[in-house]
Structure 1
Amino acid sequence: MNPVEKLALLRAEMKKRHLDAYVVVTDDFHASEYVGAHFKAREFLSGFTGSAGTLVVLPDAAALWTDGRYFLQASQQLEGSGIELMRMGQPGVPEIPAFLRDHVPENGWIGFDSRTISNDFARSIGEKTREKHIRFAGDEDLVDLVWADRPALSCEPVWELDVKYAGLTRREKLAMVRGKMKEMGASVFVIPSLDEVAWLLNLRGNDVLFTPVFLSYLLLEQDKATLCVQREAVSAEIEAHLKSDGVTLAPYDDIYRLVAALPTGTRVLLDGERANYRILQSVPESAEVLDRTSPIQLMKAVKTPAEQENERLAHIKDGVAVTRFIYWLKHTIGKEPITELSASKKLESLRAEGEHYLEQSFDPILAYGAHGAIVHYEPTEETDIPMEPRGLCLADTGAQYLEGTTDITRTIALGPLTDEEKCIYTLVLRGHIQLGAAKFLHGCMGENLDMLARTPLWEAGLDFNHGTGHGVGFVLGVHEGPERVHWDVKRQKRHCVIEEGMIFSNEPGIYLAGKFGVRIENLVVVREAEVNEYGRFLALEPLTLVPYDRDAIDLSLLSSRDVELLNAYHAKVFAAISPYLSGDELEWLKEVLSRFCSAKPKGKGSADGAARGKGGDSLSKENLPL
């Protein structure tokens, strides 16, 4: 069936139930970033395969909202479907709640599967449509009625993460969270987020692509805990271990029954941004809801000493694999056919040679030439192109190991570069280096650090439309909060102080549409630098250990301090990964990591002149080959 036929079947089901609109989101029941095949309802109906989007179906029309990453892809995949593309954030494009208010009649009905809609999203729709007395029907998954061969829910075996990796036992973590519940005045904590359940119980699974988690909910009380999970996924041994720590099992879908049975006066803690609407609707009227940010977010974000040390080990393994990939790519391009997809598969195979490798941590981005200007481009059989011995290849990839989660971007010169390509690469590198060298007082937030990475770009009248940094989980999601590095305070839903032990990315970039893109990304861990009469200073230690591309750097655009920092990082890379390379790979590594000497300035636009405020102007477009 094509999308037109599928929507006709859905509308027939809507008509039977007198629904005036039906909303289909990308989420699973747990607001996961990535979802299993069972939950790809929006993709099934619309044909749009991007990772973000919401479909609204009306009796005689349909519209799909997605963000700027997917405008081109969505316009192509929706062609002929009868679905209008709503380009989020563009002038004249309404938000979904306003669209529903304008297209659903007075006293009308909006349908959705309330297990997939967050409480916050449902609330925003309700507030916008209240004046028209529009009602919700969230009890049925209508897509299930028209998707005949829908994949079953994933039910992969749950496994235990050894405490030597986690650093804290399950009992210790449960005690920490119960302490926070007491501080917040909560008697029950409903935990729907898969990464939070996995972190708290030191368990992992394989129910979600790229993220080693398992389908579950946890109902936590001061004297007991109930894990709602598919029973066949949990071995008798793990069930016994859980029971010894005060955790009992219940069927996966029992979460709604258990919440509905909470006694009068129960104070229920839940995170409305992460809890689905059906959970909230299940809370008895006699109970009190405490809609708060989950305390587990911050606990999970501050890595234990064991997690930090294991992440260092994971990044050495990852650094060896990615460095070998760069060597292979540079020495094979032009001699053998290489496409974006074949290069991606080569890198995955090199990573898989590493001990304790589990899987990739997200869909790899291997983007050659103009594809590099598409921020979240993912090569497919339809978009794959051959790479040539010239220009730039942007490789944003990551992996899951027992020792941790990695995420790295390197932009690789495949041959001769233009002055513009070298200039852009070097400006991005300069911002990346300057953020990586940050030393700051405790109390700073991500928005305080962001400008360090953007200043060299802003001076040239350039910018990038994504965050500079995101948190990273430990053998969990490659994107997590609450920490985030972004200058635009208006975009921040929740603000977070940067704490010692947090791990986040440092990834500035520049994207020139139709030409190329440059992004450089390391993961960093926050460590204490010093304590003195002015306070407690923190610094960033790089975890990622892979060379920058010597062939893409214009030294005249780097200050002498930039060069010192570059040399120091490359010395660290060599010390960490050289013992695992040999022969031609090792000789090449010695060459690409040999010390840089500061270039003589090219006059007005020199970086040293700009840095000192004399002897040259700032790095403006007039002084650069742009």
Structure 2
Amino acid sequence: MNIKSKICELRNLMKKHNMDAYIIPSDDSHQSEYVGDYFKCRKFISGFTGSAGTVVVTQNEAGLWTDGRYFIQAANQLEGSDIKLFKIGEEGVPTIEEYLYESMENGSILGFDGRVVSAKVGDNLKNKLSNKNIEICYEHDLIDEIWEDRPKLSDKKAFLLDIKYSGESSESKLSRLRETMKQKNVTTHVIATLDDIAWLFNIRGDDVKYNPVVLSYCVVTLDKVFLFIDENKLNDEILKELNNLEVEVLAYNDVYECIKNIDENECVLLDKNNVNYAILNSIPTGVKIIQDFNPIMFFKAKKNEVELENIKNSHIKDGVAFTKFMYWLKKNVGNIDITEISATEKLEGLRKEQDGFMQPSFTTIAGYKEHAAMMHYSATEDTDYKLEKEHLFLIDSGGHYIDGTTDITRTIALGDLNDELKTHFTAVLRGMINLSMAKFLQGVRGYNLDILARRPIWEIGIDYKCGTGHGVGNLLSIHESPNGFRWYIAPHIVDSAVFEEGMVTTNEPGIYIEGSHGIRIENELITRKAEKNEYGQFMKFEVVTFAPIDLDAIDVDQLSKPERDYLNKYHELVYNTLHDHLDDDERKWLREYTKNM
């Protein structure tokens, strides 16, 4: 069934339920960034495969809203579907709320599956559309009625993460959570975010590709804990641990009935950004609701020293794999057939050779020439470019290891580069270095520092339509709130938190020229304390990514002396960290590619 036929069937169902518009988001029931195959309704109805986007279907029009990372990809994938692309943030482009308000008649009905729309989004729609007496109907999953071969929910087994990797027991984490609940004067905390639940119980799983989490909900009171999960996924070790914690294990979908039975005297803490609309509407009238961020999000972001040592160890292994890959690529491009896909497979194979490797941490972005201008490009058999001994190749990849999660991007010169490519590469490198060298007072947020990375790129009249960096989980989500770098003040906590010691954040400025090239260089940084004096507590960054930055792509004359000194010291660190893990030829090559500039 093609896209047009799917939308036609959806419209027929909408008529059956008297719906004038229907929303299909990217989310699962937990507002996850990446979702299991069962939840990929937006992909099913539109053909767009990006990780972020929302489809709105009315009886007269269908539209996809997505952000700047996916403008090029979405335009290509929507071609011929009659779905209109709405570029979020572009001048003159309405928000979904504005579009629905303008296009829907008074007294009409807006539909969506309330389990996959966040409480925040649902409330905003309800409030925005109330002036036109538009009714919200959230009880129907219409996509399920037309998706004949819809995948099943995952039934994969979970495992307990040893304390030698987590650094803190679940008992301690629950105690900290309850102490924070008391400080906020709440008696019940509803948690739906999968990585928060995984962190709390030191459980990892395989229910979402690239995200080692388990489909679950959790309700914590001051004296009880309820975990809603498929018990068949839990081994004896996990069940014993949960029993010791006096956790009551209930069926996954029983969460809604449990919430309906919350006593009116309770005070419930929940984050409307991360709890679905159906859960919010299950809470009995009269129960006091405190809207606030999940305390676990902040606990989880500040890695303890056990976690940080493990994370660094995972990055050393990852750096070995990537350095071996870069050596292989430089040596063989132009001599053997290498494509975007085969290069991806080579790198993954080298990661698999490393101790404790589990799976990639996200879909590898491997773009040659103009493909790299698509920030989240993913090669297919139809688009798979052969790499030649010329131009630039961008590869953004990472791995989940038992001791940590990695995310690294390098852009590699496959041959001689013209002046424009070298200038753009050097501007990106300068931005990455300047942010890495930042020293700042405690209390600074990501939007205070973003200019350091973006300034060399802005100076040549170019920008990139995304943030400069994001938090990274410990064997959890590759994109972890609340820390990150972004030039504007976000209206929510994501990318807007104060930088605290132990946070791990990517540093990845870039330049993307449609139809020509894309450049990104990415390292991960640990926030550390520097000196404390009469001016306050100073903070700094410790780099934790170990892999060479391609000297062949740099115009050294455009680097300042501090920038050049930083690059030389970084490359010395890379060589000293990795050389014992390489063979003689690889070691000799690495010495050349980490030499002083």
Whether these two folds match at TM > 0.5 is yes
Matches within 5 A, 1:225-304: 225-304=225-304
TM-score (norm 2): 0.97
Task: Structure 2: state its 5+ residue gaps.
Answer: none
Supply the distance in 2 between the matched residues of 1:260 and 1:387 (Cα, whole angstroms): 58
Which residues in structure 2 correspond to 1:433-452 (within 5 Å)?
A: 433-452=433-452
Displacement of 1:85 in angstroms is: 2.3
Q: Residues 12-27 of structure 1: matches in 2 within 5 Å? A: 12-27=12-27
Shift of 1:410: 0.7
Correspondences of 1:591-602 after superposition (within 5 Å): 591-596=592-597
Does 1:7 find its partner at 2:20? no
Question: Which piece of structure 1 moves more, 467-476 or 492-501?
Answer: 492-501
* Correspondence for 1:618: none
Taking structure 1 as reference, are residues 551 and 79 closer, same or farther at Cα in structure 2, changes over 3 Å only? closer
After TM superposition, give the deviation of residue 341 of structure 1 in Å: 0.8
**1:565, 1:71 → 2: CA distance?**
35
Gaps of 5+ in 1: 597-626
Q: 3-state DSSP class of the match of 2:525?
A: strand
Pair 1:16–1:532, CA change in 2 (3 A): same
* Letter of the structure 1 residue corresponding to residue 533 of structure 2: N
Question: Which stretch shifts more, 23-32 or 11-20?
Answer: 11-20
Distance, in Å, in 2 between the alignment partners of 1:469 and 1:59 is 40
Q: Distance in 1 between matches of 2:122 and 2:336?
A: 53
Q: Which residue of 2 aligns with 1:555?
A: 556
Verify the 8 A CA contact 2:268 2:288 in the aligned structure 1.
Answer: yes
| Superposed counterparts of 1:266-415, under 5 Å | 266-415=266-415
CA RMSD of aligned residues (A): 1.4
Aligned position for 1:621: none
Using the TM superposition, name which of 455-464 and 473-482 deviates more. 455-464
Report the residue type matching 1:315 in the other structure: H
TM-score normalised by structure 1 residue count: 0.93
Does residue 582 of the first structure (1) align with residue 583 of the second (2)? Answer: yes
Equivalents in 2 of 1:179, 1:124: separation in Å?
31
Q: How does 1:108-123 map to 2 (within 5 A)?
A: 108-123=108-123
Quote how far apart the aligned CAs of 1:565 are: 1.2
Letter matched to residue 295 of structure 1 = P
Give the CA deviation at 1:60: 3.5
User: For the residues of structure 2 that align with 1:84 and 1:541, how far apart are their CA atoms?
Assistant: 44
SS at match of 2:281: helix
The structure with more radius of gyration: 1
CA distances 1:128-187 after superposition (whole Å, capped 9, x unpaired): 210111111111211111111111011211110110001000000000111111111110
Separation in structure 2 between the aligned mates of residue 154 and residue 541 of structure 1, nearest angstrom? 38
1:215 CA displacement: 0.2
Aligned pairs (5 A) from 1:406-425:
406-425=406-425
Kindly indicate whether the alpha-carbon contact (under 8 Å) linking 2:72 and 2:374 is maintained by their aligned counterparts in 1: no
Q: What residue in structure 2 maps to residue 455 of structure 1?
A: 455
How many pairs were matched up? 596
In the alignment, the residues of structure 2 paired with residue 373 and residue 62 of structure 1 have an alpha-carbon distance, to the nearest angstrom, of 27
Q: CA deviation at 1:192?
A: 0.2
The alignment-based identity, stated in percent, is 45
The correspondence of residues 523-534 of structure 1 with structure 2, limited to 5 A, is 523-534=524-535
Separation in 1, partners of 2:127, 2:210 = 35
1 CA distance for matches of 2:552 and 2:75?
A: 37
- Counterpart-to-counterpart distance in 2, 1:465 and 1:93: 15
Judge which range, 182-191 or 546-555, deviates more.
546-555
- Residues 508 and 73 of structure 1, relative CA distance in 2, 3 Å threshold: closer
> Counterpart in 2 of 1:624?
none
The residue type paired with residue 52 of structure 1 is A
Cα deviation for residue 490 of structure 1 reads: 5.3
Aligned-residue offset at 1:513: 2.2
Q: Which amino acid aligns with 1:340?
A: E
The change in CA–CA distance for 1:202 and 1:4 in structure 2 (over 3 A counts) is same
Letter in 2 for 1:580: H
Partners of 2:349 and 2:51 in 1: CA distance? 24
Change (3 A) 1:148 1:490: closer
Distance 1:504 1:25, change over 3 A: same
User: 2:54 is matched by which residue type in structure 1?
Assistant: T
- Aligned partners of 1:265, 1:535: CA distance in 2, in Å? 43
Q: Which runs of 4+ in 1 moved over 3 A?
A: 490-495
Displacement of 1:536 after TM fit? 1.4
- CA–CA distance in structure 2, aligned partners of residues 245 and 262 of structure 1: 22
Provide the rounded CA distance (Å) in 1 between the counterparts of 2:362 and 2:234. 26
Query: Corresponding residue for 1:95?
Result: 95
How many Å apart are 1:455 and its aligned residue? Answer: 2.3
- Change in 2 beyond 3 A, CA 1:14/1:367: same
2:144 corresponding residue in structure 1? 144
Match for residue 189 of structure 2? 189
Alpha carbons 2:369, 2:517 under 8 Å: kept: yes
Shift of 1:491: 5.8
Pick closer, same or farther for the CA change 1:283–1:160 going to 2, 3 Å: same
Distance 1:135 1:553 in 2: 58
Distance (whole Å) between structure 1 residues aligned to residue 546 and residue 18 of structure 2: 58
Question: CA offsets per residue over residues 455-494 of structure 1, 9 Å max, x none?
Answer: 2223333322221111111100011111121121256656
Whether the aligned pair in 1 keeps the contact of 2:64 and 2:84 (CA below 8 Å) is: yes
